[in-house]
Chain A
Amino acid sequence: MQEDVIREIIEEEREARELRRRMADWEFINKQPPRIREALKYYIEKDDMRLAAKLAGLNIEEFRELLRKARIPVVV
C-alpha cells in the first residue's frame, strides 16, 4: 500500500519537474542576477518555494510573482 503511494509520489514529482523545466522561460531566467537565477533553478528542481524565496531574498508572495514572470508553473 505505502509502496504504491511512494511510487505515485515519485511519478508525480517527475511529471511536475518536467513541466517546470519545459514551460520555464529560460531566456528570462538566464538574464536574472545570480541570486534570483539560482533561486529559480532551485525551485524548478526541488519544488520548495519557501527555501527558493529565501535564496532569492524575496518574500513568498514576491517569489510566486517571479515564478509567473519566468513562466514556471506551480504543479500541485
Chain B
Amino acid sequence: MRREFAIADTCFLIDWSRYRRRDVLFRLFRTVFVPENVLNEVKSENVITWISEGLRSDRLTLYTPVSDEVEEARELIEESRLHSQLPSMDLPEALCLVIGRRRGYIVLTENRAALLAPKLLNRYRNVEVWRALEVLLNAIRYNIIEPDCSNPRKVFDEYCHDTLHIFPSKALNEAIREVEELCRRT
C-alpha cells in the first residue's frame, strides 16, 4: 500500500539525494511536498538536479506555506525552547511539523528536534515523522525494496555508506529485527 503525501525538509533531501536507490521515495508516496524555504536552501548540482527531475515528473511538488502556518511554526519553536531535552528547532523543520499536523502528511526529516517533537509536545503527538530509517523500513514492508535475507542490515548499511549517516543503534537493531521477521515469513 502506497502512502499519499509526505513533506520533506532540507536535511532529509540533501542526504537522501545521495542514496543509490533514492527514487524509491517516489514509489512510497504519491507526492512529496517540498516547502519553498527548503528549495531556497539547496544549492548543489546533485540535489538540484534530483529535485528538478522530481518536480518535472510531478513526484515532487512545491509547497507554499500560508502565513497562519508560519505563525504556528514560530509558536512551535517557542514551545520547543521550553523543553530543555529538545535540541534546537528552526523554522524549516517547524514548518514541516505544522504542515504534517494540519494536513496529515508524513514529515521526512533528519532533524532530531523534529523527530522528538511528537514524543514531547502534546499538540504534535499524532504527527508521523520519518527519518531515512523509517523510509527504508517502509519501502521493505511495502515490497518496494527487496531485502537481502542473508544480510538483513544490508539496505541500511548501503544508505549509511552513501551518505555518511548513522542510525542510532537501538532503532537500527529494531529495524533489522523486523526485516529478519519479514524474511522468515516469506
Contacts and interface: CB of A to CB of B under 8 A. Distances in A.
Contact of B47 (A2, A15, A61, A73): A61
Given A47-B112, A73-B164, A73-B166, A64 B88 contact: no
B101 to A, nearest CB: 19
Interface residues on A, range: 20 to 34
Nearest to B90: A50
Nearest to A70: B164
Contacts of B170: 8, 12
A59 B87 CA distance: 20
Interface residues of B, number: 29
Interface of A: 2, 5-6, 8-10, 12-13, 15-16, 19, 46-51, 59-62, 64-65, 67-68, 71, 73-76
12 contacts: A12-B170, A15-B168, A61-B41, A65-B44, A67-B164, A73-B166, A74-B110, A74-B163, A74-B165, A74-B166, A75-B166, A76-B168
Given A9-B119, A73-B164, A75-B168, 17 more contacts: A8-B170, A10-B85, A12-B168, A13-B112, A15-B169, A16-B168, A19-B166, A46-B87, A48-B87, A49-B111, A60-B14, A64-B11, A74-B11, A74-B110, A74-B166, A76-B112, A76-B167
